[in-house]
């Protein structure tokens, strides 16, 4: 993590790691990550507070997430619940819609 200095050199504020394997697909999680400097292990550089949601990258992963969401709702594929209804019930947002709103 670096701060941003207009016209000056950006300052190193610490580093941290986020283990994506510890996240559940489609579930928002609040995380607090401690900032560290490997060259100064005894100093406290503060922390970053994040709200993270892991979304699938490939179509295969997306279909697996949809199957999992349907299973969570107790609905099988034969009932053909629309994706929008599943997202509404599980409060999982469509990332494409969120990005479009930001533009």
pLDDT tens for residues 13-31? 888 988 888 888 788 999 9
Return all residues near 26 (Cβ < 8 A) that are at least 6 apart: 53, 54, 55, 65, 68, 69, 90, 92
Dist. CA 5–CA 57, nearest whole Å: 34
Of 102, 72, 100, which Cα lies nearest the Cα of 86?
72
- Condensed to tens digits (0 to 9), the pLDDT of residues 41-100 reads 888 888 999 999 888 777 787 787 778 777 776 655 445 556 667 667 776 666 666 667
Q: What is the CA radius of gyration of the chain?
A: 19
Around Cβ 55, how many Cβ atoms within 10 Å? 15
pTM above 0.75, yes or no: no
């Amino acid at each position: 993590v670096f701060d941003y200095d207009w016209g000056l050199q950006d300052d190193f504020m610490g580093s941290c790691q986020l283990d994506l394997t510890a996240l559940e697909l489609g579930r928002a999680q609040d995380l607090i990550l401690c900032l560290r400097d490997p060259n100064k292990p005894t100093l406290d550089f503060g922390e970053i507070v994040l709200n993270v949601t892991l979304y699938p990258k490939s179509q295969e992963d997306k279909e697996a997430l949809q199957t999992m969401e349907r299973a969570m709702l107790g609905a099988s594929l034969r009932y053909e619940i629309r994706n929008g209804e599943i997202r509404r019930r599980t409060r999982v947002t469509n990332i494409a819609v969120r990005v479009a709103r930001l533009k």
